[in-house]
Amino acid sequence: MFDVSIIMPVYNVADHLPRAIESALNQKRVQCEIILVNDGSTDGSKEICDLYAKKEPLLISVIHQENQGSGPARNAGLKQATGKYIYFADPDDYFEPYLVADNYKVAQEKESDMLIFGFTQEKAGKPEDRQTHLPNIPQLPSKEKVKRHFRNVYHFTPYALWNKLYKKDFLKNNAIEFTDQRMGQDALFNIACYKHVTSIAVNRKAYYHYVTHEGSAVNRYRPDRLEMELNIATQFENLLKHWGEQEEFSDLIAEEYFHAIYLETANLVHKDCPLSQEEKIERLDTLWQSIKEKVDPHKTEEKNPFRYALLNEYKKGRPKNALRLMQTRNKAANTYGKAFNTLKSLIKA
């Protein structure tokens, strides 16, 4: 048995995959296995997985399956994992050599079901533009402490997998696994974990490099995005009802539902959206009316000026203006983004 199983779902990431696998192989002072789950890749990722497994057969195993999505891919890895703890890494990121050892040590000492640690965020091709994020969360040795400080947990990437360690027995004993929802499986998985967790350890150091890439799934039109986002919001609300804390955290529930309408507004202004303007307005108006009571009375603050303006348009019953606002924002972001990058290149030259 290994101390930690590193599970990495792989789908068409040939350009980034070797760096991610090398990060896993370079882990120090810990016994860990690496499970690569090739989810029907067509770009050479399959061959890269097989090459590394051939080089390191005692540490790396590969599962090949037809494309099913990252959730089922991680489930396949979970079924094969032998580690005491599970770590989910993404194939287009990379991480520090002591990520597994340091966090495994803390998790063992605290006897925790989960562990949360810090990360660094950067853009692909621009590792110098980094932002380090550390958890402002106390140690949470009991379910009551988890509930009491859940607001802190929520405000620090509550749904990310790559800055958390999970005890395998905790997942197994509570039958926690990923759904087949194409987007948001990480959110649903973590919501299930919070429902059953009895202790969360915290390591206030950064180990993971989360790399943002052009053309991510968030920036594509998806006809089923709304249904997926509403499912996440509903499951989050159900979690707090299960705890009996829906009144205490009514603002967080409101934030989840507002996030769903925010993402759907962005989805509808995408160039690939086939709906007419009238259909978009009707869709957003119907959505707002269905969630208004969950959002309007409870969400009164918003630090982001754009999100505040968008919320204000919905509260005033003006979905058409909300669409226009999102379109204007996207155009401005593209224009100023290109101008800023050009200026930056000239300065560096």
DSSP string, 282-328: HHHHHHHHHHHHHHTTT----SSHHHHHHHHHHHTT-HHHHHHHHHH
If you search the block for the tokens 């996207």, which residue do you land on? 330
CA distance 236 to 186: 13
**Residues 46, 116: contact at Cβ < 8 Å?**
no
Q: What are the pLDDT digits (tens) for 15-50?
A: 999 999 999 999 999 999 999 999 999 999 999 999
Instruction: Please tell me the predicted confidence (pLDDT) of residue 124.
Output: 85
Predicted confidence band of residue 323 (pLDDT cuts 50, 70, 90): very high
**pTM exceeds 0.75, yes or no:** yes
Least confident of 81-85, 240-244, 300-304, 324-328: 300-304
What is the overall mean pLDDT for the chain? 93
State the pLDDT confidence band at 126, using cuts at 50, 70 and 90.
Answer: confident
The pLDDT of residue 341 is above 80: no
- The mean pLDDT value for 197-208 works out to 98
Q: Which pLDDT band holds residue 308 (cuts at 50, 70, 90)?
A: very high
Placement of tokens 């079924």 in the chain:
79
Domains and CATH numbers, the chain: 4-212 (3.90.550.10), 220-343 (no CATH)
CA-CA distance, 229 to 225, in Å (whole number)? 6
Higher confidence at residue 239 or residue 345? 239
CA distance linking residue 344 with residue 332, whole number of Å: 18
Radius of gyration of the chain (CA): 21
Supply the pLDDT for residue 324: 96
* pLDDT above 70 (res 215): no
The SS3 of residue 94 is strand
